[in-house]
Structure 1
C-alpha cells in the first residue's frame, strides 16, 4: 500500500513515523539543529538586546516508533515569542513535548552577546562579542535550565616569567562557564567573573597607550590555567544566585603545539 490514498474527495496520508521500528530500541534525543532564530535577551545596561541564535531542538523517541515528526520542531519555534527568559523557554519546551507527544525535550540556543567595552587608558569604545548559550531540558514536567558564556582572556605563564631573562610567553585563553541558578542571573556577571580571572581581559580596540598598559599589567599578574579555573570557580561559588557550575579553561599555548586545560565542577544540588 502506498503512502497516501484518496476517498470521498479527501486525501489520506500514511503516518510513516508512527510505524513499528525494525529495531526496537529507544533513542535519547532526536531532532533538528542548525536553525537560526532572532531572539531578545535581557541586557543589564540597555534593558534588552536583539541577536540571532543557532538553535537545536530534540525529544526522546520510544523504542516502538520508527521516527519523529521533524516539521513540528520548526512549527513550535515559529510559534514561540523569541523572548529568551525562563518563562518563555519553559513555554517552548512544553509546546515541543505536546506537539511531539514526547516524555522529554531539549532546547539549546547559542548566540553572540555584545557588550560595549572601553580601552583601559585611551577610553576608546568598541563592541565585544561573547558566545553565550542557554540549555533547557524538560523531563516529566521538570525543567533543568543552564546558562553559560565563553569568555576570552590573556594569560602570562608564571613559570616562563620566573625563569626567563627577557619576558615570558603569553597567549589567549578561553573560559567556558556553565551555570544553574535561582532567581535571575545576568550574563554580564558571568563575563565579568571570567574576565577578572586571567592575566588581562582582551579588547576589540587598543591604542598604543592601551597596549602598553595591557602588556605591563598582565606581566605583573601571571596566571597558570589552574589559577584561572580556580579564580572563576571561587567567583561563581561566591555568587548568591549560582547553585551549580562547571568551568573549563583552555589555554591556546603560544610556544607549544598543544593546548593546556583545566576543569572544575561544583557539587550537583540535585
Structure 2
C-alpha cells in the first residue's frame, strides 16, 4: 500500500513536535520502597518531523507506549521509550510527557492513623539522537499556610488556608533523580503545616497549633523551598511555584521562581 505520510512535502517547513496528545493509559511507577504503583497516565508523545516528510506515523506512538505499560517506569525506562521512538519514527529528537496522580501514605501526627494523599506528578523526557536524555520530575503537593500578619495584629486566631506547592526538578546526567516521596516530604516541610486526609480530634488540635506556631507568607514558603532545592545533591535546574487559596480574599496569593544551580 502506498504510504502517503512518507511522500515528499514541498513547503520546506520542519515541524518541531508532532505526535499524540491526551493519550490515557495505565502505567506503573517505581516507588521509594522498591515496589511499583499503578497509575492512570495522561500522555503527550512527539517527535521532530523533517521538512521533506508529509506526516508521521501516529499509530507507532501508541504501539511503543503499549509495550511499556507493564514495566515499572523511571528515568531509564523513559530514555528507552524515547530511543525507540527515534529509531522507529526515524526522528532526530523525541519528547515524552507523562502526567499522573500518585498516592503517598500519610500517618496522622498524634493518632498515627494511616491514609493516602494524592499528588499530581509528571515525568518529562526529551532526547536528541546520540545525546543523553534530559529528564524532569514534577510534583504538586497540598499544604497549609497561616498568615504571619494576621497572627500579629489579631487578639486571637489567625487566618489560614490550603496551599499548593509545585516543583519541577532536573538533575545532572550522572545523578539519579529524587524519588517522588522524598521530594513531596521536603516540600510540605516548608509550609506552615502538612495536610492529612485522615485526622482524629487529637490530630486536628496538633495540626491547628502547629500551623499557628509556623506562620508563613507565600513568599516565605517559596524562599525556604528554594533554599531546600539548592541543597539537593546533583540538582541542575528547578522551578518552584506556591499558591495560597486565600480564606479572607476573593483572590489567591502566588509566588514563583526558577533557576539553574551553579
Structure-2-length-normalised TM-score: 0.91
Match of 2:150 among 147, 155, 160: 160
Provide the C-alpha distance between the structure 2 equivalents of 1:224 and 1:22, rounded to a whole number of angstroms.
56
Provide the C-alpha distance between the structure 2 equivalents of 1:228 and 1:215, rounded to a whole number of angstroms.
18
Structure with larger Rg:
1
Provide the C-alpha distance between the structure 2 equivalents of 1:46 and 1:125, rounded to a whole number of angstroms.
20
Match of residue 172 from structure 1 = 162
Gaps spanning 5+ residues in structure 2: where? Answer: none
Runs of 4 or more consecutive aligned structure 1 residues displaced over 3 Å after TM superposition: 19-24
Secondary structure, counterpart of 1:174 in structure 2: strand
Matched, 1:134 2:123: yes
Please say if residues 36 and 72 of structure 2, whose CA atoms lie closer than 8 Å, have aligned partners that are also in contact. no
Please say if residues 86 and 129 of structure 2, whose CA atoms lie closer than 8 Å, have aligned partners that are also in contact. no
Please say if residues 170 and 177 of structure 2, whose CA atoms lie closer than 8 Å, have aligned partners that are also in contact. no
Equivalences for residues 1-270 of structure 1 within 5 A: 12=1, 14-21=2-9, 23-45=11-33, 47-80=35-68, 82-142=71-131, 143-181=133-171, 182-267=175-260
Provide the C-alpha distance between the structure 2 equivalents of 1:148 and 1:67, rounded to a whole number of angstroms.
31
- Residues 10-58 of structure 1 show CA distances to partners (whole Å, capped at 9, x for unaligned) of xx2x322233446432222111122223322222236332323221101
Please say if residues 153 and 172 of structure 1, whose CA atoms lie closer than 8 Å, have aligned partners that are also in contact. yes
Deviation of 1:192 after TM superposition, in Å, equals 0.9
Structure-1-length-normalised TM-score: 0.88
Cα RMSD for the two superposed structures: 1.8
Provide the C-alpha distance between the structure 2 equivalents of 1:254 and 1:261, rounded to a whole number of angstroms.
14
Provide the C-alpha distance between the structure 2 equivalents of 1:69 and 1:230, rounded to a whole number of angstroms.
46
Total equivalences in the alignment: 257
Provide the C-alpha distance between the structure 2 equivalents of 1:162 and 1:16, rounded to a whole number of angstroms.
70
Deviation of 1:184 after TM superposition, in Å, equals 4.4
Please say if residues 59 and 97 of structure 1, whose CA atoms lie closer than 8 Å, have aligned partners that are also in contact. yes
Deviation of 1:183 after TM superposition, in Å, equals 2.4
Gaps spanning 5+ residues in structure 1: where? Answer: 1-11
